[in-house]
Amino acid sequence: MPGFENCGRWRRFRLILNTRHTAPEEYHFRDDTWTTLILPSRPRKGLKNHYEGRHMQITALSKHIGAEVTGIDLRQPLDDVTRKALNAAVVEHIALVIRDQEFTPRQYLAAIANFGEPMPQHFTQYELPDCPLVCEVSNRHTDKTGKRVKHGAGWHTDHTNHVRPPKYTCLFAVALPSKGGGTSVVNMRAGYEALPEDLRQKIQGMRTVNVLQGSASAHSAHSAEAQADQKPVGVQQPLIRTNPENGKKALYFHPVKTECIVGMTPNDTQALLNELLAHAVRDEFIYTHRWKKGDVLLWDNRAALHRANFDYDPDEHRLLHRVLVKGEVPE
């Protein structure tokens, strides 16, 4: 379509030759086999912005965060167009839920490889023996004292003590409680933009030092055990991270893994991180996923924090399979 590349307030995801467009209020363009997603700069009233390709659809779930994918079986090979559309949707919407999947662990790992290279995880005791890049997240895990571990109860991002931390975290529902047990993801691009100007200026150029368990962080016996056993060297990360795929800035930190901000004490560091959370974590920036069997949920760690919700009967089993996708060195 002549002039299609210069479409003003619309953002172009991909261009197919011989395109025929449908009604413009539907916010997409279609040819005989695929639809090209055109997202507005801001999601429109009614959340109509979506992608359709054969049977696959990607639909925004809220103004600030979240999109749902239906009509795709990730056990089947994906072509480049579909793969690029899915990855673009994660970057754009930060959290992506893919419905109605059914996997063996190896099939799950192969499906997630469409989003990048899977990487090893910290707690090797939770690796699946025959598929170690897939780990269990279960409410039946216990620490050395026999006490049940509450994985991810506070806002955090994953593996910040790695030089190249994961860009995506991916979860697949295996066993679920009858109600509750959701996973919440918060948009830290929007959180960064919502900071008061003086606070935003104050944190420019700051870098965190990341270990398994910061000395002044909220107590995590599980991480503390690993910290004592492994004694890892601290890894510095930017407090404000720029996503290389879209150039957008976001707050980036893990309160438990932060030993300190360079030039600050651990206690002063935790006070500042708590202040940032108080300003940045707002209800309108949060997507809370209500799990259904067959759901895959993944999010962009470069622009999000997440946490697990423990509002369910602990006698019921909650089991998710987790895969992490290797990222770049944060800048």
Domains of the chain in sequence order: 10-177+288-326 (3.60.130.10), 188-280 (no CATH)
Residue 225: predicted pLDDT: 57
Whether residue 2 is predicted with pLDDT greater than 50 in this model: the reply is: no
Residue 55: predicted pLDDT: 79
Confidence of residue 151 (pLDDT cuts 50, 70, 90): confident
Residue 232: predicted pLDDT: 63
pTM listed for this prediction? 0.82
Q: Where are the alpha helices (DSSP H) in the chain?
A: 80-93, 105-112, 188-193, 197-202, 221-230, 266-280
Tokens encoding 263: 């030039």
Whether residue 34 is predicted with pLDDT greater than 50 in this model: the reply is: no
C-alpha pair distances (Å), 60 with each of 63, 68, 94, 127? 8, 6, 11, 33
What is the average pLDDT across 265-284? 97
What are the φ/ψ torsions at residue 219 (nearest 5 degrees)?
-65, 130
Contacts of 300 (CB under 8 A, 6+ apart): 90, 91, 94, 95, 167, 168, 243
Cα–Cα distance measured from residue 274 to residue 313, given in angstroms and rounded to the nearest whole number = 29
Confidence of residue 247 (pLDDT cuts 50, 70, 90): very high
Q: Is the Cβ–Cβ distance between 122 and 116 less than 8 Å?
A: no
Tokens encoding 107: 């099939």
Angle (CA) 244-137-212 rounded to 5° is: 60
Tokens encoding 79: 């072509």
Whether residue 277 is predicted with pLDDT greater than 90 in this model: the reply is: yes
Angle (CA) 22-13-240 rounded to 5° is: 140
Residue with tokens 């700069």: 41
| Half-sphere CA count of 173, side-chain side, radius 13 A | 21
